[in-house]
Amino acid sequence: MEMEQHDCPFIDTTLDYDVSFSAVQWEFDASQRELETRMLVQGASRSALDNGVEALRAHPNMHEYQLRKRWDDTAQIQTVIHETDAMARIRGHDGFITGPFYIEDGSELWHVGFDSGTVADTALSELGRNNEFNVMSRDQLGGPLVQETVQNVNAGLELVEACRDLTDVEREALTAAVEEGYFESPRETTLNELAEQFGISAPAFSKNLRRGQQKVARHVVQTFELFAESETDGLDETVGR
């Protein structure tokens, strides 16, 4: 569902600033009624990111905020927010999260599940009292769908980990090579031209670029393996019927 909460600091921030949030990890503390998250924040520019994270940090519903890592217009943050009205209504009907959050332009993409269609209907009715939302799709979860959701989340996290593994020098080398067309065919730039941008020799730039490529490629291959394992599992289930 597409959710518009009126007491969510992340949604409020995306209304005022050109930033988006993607949840990497989340955990709800039932005793404290707080949600702890690790988020990736993407800004339209460095200044948009600066203004967005500062507004988020100062939001009245933000309990704890920590900047864990930053590179250019992207940051990784760890937060704790108070339970929102929508969270309380979902949890009040034993609802559960079935996929990652994504927040942009004042709305939040939720994947939630309930134990039955009747319970879901009741929860959605109550949810509409203080919140605006749009059910984008509604399915009965089964083994293959759950497996696909987990697979996609794990694949996404694997690629996030690839970005985190890069040093600033490696990231800058990869970014320049892509933006200047080094990987195009035919190439639109040379190693010498790229190296001149950074004031280093072509062999030094090539070394930085190769290291970055190797790290990203390693995680991409691991992502391929996740998909391959999923396809194998699905084949085994079909054969076993």
> Mean pLDDT in each 10-residue stretch from start to end of the chain (241 residues)?
88 93 84 88 93 93 91 91 90 84 89 87 89 83 50 59 80 92 93 94 94 85 66 46 37
- pLDDT for 115: 85
Residues 6 or more apart whose Cβ sits within 8 Å of residue 155: 223, 226, 227
**Where are the chain's structural domains?**
2-139, 144-240
CA distances from 237 to 64, 167, 184 (A): 45, 42, 42
Q: Which residue has the tokens 């090579």?
A: 177
112-113 and 96-97 as β-strands: parallel, antiparallel, unpaired? Answer: antiparallel
74-82 and 112-113 as β-strands: parallel, antiparallel, unpaired? Answer: unpaired
- pLDDT for 237: 43
CA dist 236 and 182 (Å) reads 43
Comparing CA positions, the residue from 106, 90, 107 lying closest to residue 98 is 90
- pLDDT for 216: 84
Q: Rounded to 5 degrees, what are φ and ψ at 29?
A: -95, 105
- pLDDT for 211: 92
- pLDDT for 143: 47
CA dist 191 and 145 (Å) reads 45
What topology is assigned to 144-240 in CATH? Arc Repressor Mutant, subunit A (1.10.10)
CA distances from 198 to 36, 72, 183 (A): 40, 16, 18
CA dihedral (195, 200, 203, 207) positive or negative: negative
Taking the CB of residue 162, how many other CB atoms lie within 10 A of it?
A: 18
Taking the CB of residue 150, how many other CB atoms lie within 10 A of it?
A: 14
Enter the pTM of the model.
0.58
